[in-house]
Amino acid sequence: MWYGDRFKNFSMSKHLKRDLELLEKRLLYLAGQVEEAVRRSITALLERRVDLAQKVIDGDEEIDRREVELEEDCLKALALHQPVATDLRFVTACLKIDNDLERVGDLAANIAERVISFYSRPGSGIGVTPHFLEIMENAARMLRDSMDAFVRGDSQAARMVCEADDQVDQRNRQIIGELLRKMHEDPKCIEQAVELVSISKSLERIADHATNIAEDVVYLVEGDIVRHRMAASG
């Protein structure tokens, strides 16, 4: 893991090292839960699995609980150890990533709710387009890659995640445009199309949170705050 691998030879309080390694383990566990929720919500849409969508909704409370516990642990580490330099950046990054992961969990639950609503409405022939498949794949990959960059302490990989966000934004605009045209051509599909618009927007927001995580990795590794600057330079 990132913290233990990079600081195993550093001289520090064993209590601080233990607490920071525990923070990392708990953050990665939360990330695993959130990634699974996103994967399940996407699978529920593609495979018409209303039962799976309900599992995502039911699991959101556990994600919320773990997010609060991890935030409390981060605050305790700040109060007890008063970390500086890289240790302080690590705790700060954990706090921020923790919040982004919880928001992604909420978005996965929102997708799941829209899936249930989508399949409860009368069929109109509207379905998932190739652009929709692409935004689902890209958003899920960005989330996974941002956390992989955190584990490896790889700021270059994190920057690549940030660069991928523009493509997701573009696909979201294309999807919404396609769905608006379908609603205009066939008013009977409006209700289902609205659900798909909501899902697409949630996927775009998941990509935004993955970008936030990647920017936090750059800050953690390089000590450079790149939020907003990377978007402006792109």
Answer whether 160's CB lies under 8 Å from 213's CB: no
Q: Which helix (H) or strand (E) holds 232?
A: helix 229-233
Instruction: Tell me the pLDDT of the chain averaged across its residues.
Output: 91
User: Which residues, in sequence order, are CB contacts of 153 under 8 Å at separation 6+?
Assistant: 2, 5, 6, 217, 220, 221
What superfamily would CATH give domain 12-233?
Answer: Phosphate transport system protein phou homolog 2; domain 2 (1.20.58.220)
Cβ atoms < 10 Å from Cβ of 84: 8
- The type of residue at 71 is E
Q: Which residues of the chain carry a pLDDT beneath 50?
A: 7-11, 234
> Would you state the pLDDT for residue 156?
96
This prediction has a pTM of 0.91
Distance CA 34, CA 93 (A): 17
Distance CA 182, CA 228 (A): 35
Answer whether 161's CB lies under 8 Å from 214's CB: yes
> Would you state the pLDDT for residue 17?
87
How is the chain split into domains, by residue range?
12-233
Answer whether 35's CB lies under 8 Å from 26's CB: no
CA angle (67 as vertex; 168, 74 as ends), nearest 5: 110
> Would you state the pLDDT for residue 3?
54
> Would you state the pLDDT for residue 10?
47
Distance CA 17, CA 11 (A): 10
Distance CA 168, CA 20 (A): 34
Distance CA 36, CA 181 (A): 33
